[in-house]
A = this chain, B = another copy of it.
């Protein structure tokens, strides 16, 4: 099915925002201005946006250590996120969580997660909650090719099948877990999707660098899951433009690999090409969105720099609801 002009613009705008957000962080982190461990999502924007454009607030997602893209795609506030990464009390998590723990439960974003594989079981719970409420809502667990080897991920898939939970396992295969290739670490007869399939789920596979492939795949998949057919899984072939963490020298990359994926596998460029070729959007309109995204991000950085800082008294609040 065709996306409307408005939908196309919104999708691109979101992807552009993620890109701008991450590239800005890349620069800022190099200066030492921002502390903590930060993992950039650049290169995978089409997955987060292609998935989340189908969701509303009641649909839940659970994310990973590489969570900025998922957060932004699910509608988390750019300034709230930037302030969180800066550690301000005005951050989405009051500066207590930081990059690896950004969450906005009211938006259906149940948290980035510093523990690889920990999100999948949580997504099953969110899915079962939605099933109880009976409105056809789903929950989505984003996992990497590395996370697909963690026991919790398998347990969650089996649990979802057994409980017929409307849970969707989105595997973003960017071919690396930290410094290790998926060819080495993912034992499989075929691919990640085939491992999920062996649990009795229906699975899909698509090019994660092509927004339209992601979007169409998810449309089909979501129709299946929302209809009460139980869980499903999908594997997206995608690319990670930066290192595992900021500062990673990436010696494990092949010669010219980064240049090649930047050139051939950039989901924003591919989107532009598609909509231009099909005469759906003009370059000018897209450029405008890029500019707007950059402006938003720049404003967020300025706001984060000026935002109030926590004090020692804040350490002991928010541990419990009732003490």
Contact = CB atoms under 8 A, between A and B. Distances in A.
B185 A162 contact: yes
A189 B159 CA distance: 14
A319 interface: no
A149 interface: yes
A161 to B, nearest CB: 3
Most buried by B among A151, A159, A187, A194: A187
Interface in A141-200: 149-155, 157-162, 184-190, 194-195, 197-200
A184 B158 CA distance: 11
Contacts of A194: 198
Interface in A177-234: 184-190, 194-195, 197-201
Contacts of A184: 162
A180 to B, nearest CB: 10
B162 A188 contact: no
A116 to B, nearest CB: 12
Contacts of A186: 158
A149 B157 contact: no
Among A152, A158, A161, A198, find the residue whose CB has the most chain B CB atoms closer than 10 A.
A198
A194 B188 CA distance: 12
A87 to B, nearest CB: 34
Contacts of A152: 151
A193 to B, nearest CB: 10
A141 to B, nearest CB: 15
A97 B160 CA distance: 36
Nearest to A198: B198
Interface of A: 149-155, 157-162, 184-190, 194-195, 197-201
Nearest 6 interchain pairs by C-beta: A151-B151, A161-B187, A198-B198, A154-B154, A158-B187, A195-B198
